[in-house]
Amino acid sequence: MAKQKKGNMQKTGNVLKKREIDIHYLKMSAYRTYHVDGIFGGITPRGKIYCELFIERNVTPQKITHEVLPDNRVGKETGRDGKQGIVREVECGIILDLDTAISLKDWLDNKINEFNKVFAPVTNKKGER
């Protein structure tokens, strides 16, 4: 029996069947889940989009001094040494071509819309959240 292809459909005899393919997702041994608080990046000299994903936290002090209580327990903090400010730990960098960046943007827009439908703000009688 002859098979004819038309777009995404395949005709076998008088029956038109949709063509499909299974895509399997495999997690590599180095797979990790990253928490992301922000993103930084730009355009590479070769016209790709480069992004660094980071987490943001307070600086961890190099040293904290505490008083010692008469019963040898640790008391209140009396001093702290180290940097001041906020740390951004860069978790990973990704490089995307324009088509992939657009696909990612569309995917994120879709997930944001889904989120807003599921977690729509609930308002009280006064219109407050």
Which one, of 66, 67, 63, lies nearest residue 80 by Cα? 63
Higher per-residue confidence, 100 vs 119: 100
Q: What is the pLDDT of residue 16?
A: 75
Q: What is the pLDDT of residue 17?
A: 79
pTM of this structure: 0.63
Residue at 73 is within a domain:
yes
The answer on pLDDT for 7 being more than 80 is no
User: For 45-65, what is each residue's pLDDT tens digit?
Assistant: 999 999 999 999 999 999 999
Question: 12 with 1: CB under 8 angstroms?
Answer: yes
Within 10 A of 13 (CB to CB), how many other CB atoms are there?
Answer: 9
Side chain identity at residue 103, one-letter code = S
Question: 49 with 96: CB under 8 angstroms?
Answer: yes
Q: What is the residue range of 87's domain?
A: 33-118
Specify the number of domains making up the chain: 1
What DSSP designation does 112 have? H
Cα 55 from Cα 60, distance rounded (Å): 14
The answer on pLDDT for 94 being more than 60 is yes
Residue at 69 is within a domain:
yes
Cα 71 from Cα 94, distance rounded (Å): 53
The answer on pLDDT for 11 being more than 80 is no
Higher per-residue confidence, 129 vs 110: 110
Over pLDDT 90: what percentage of the chain? 68
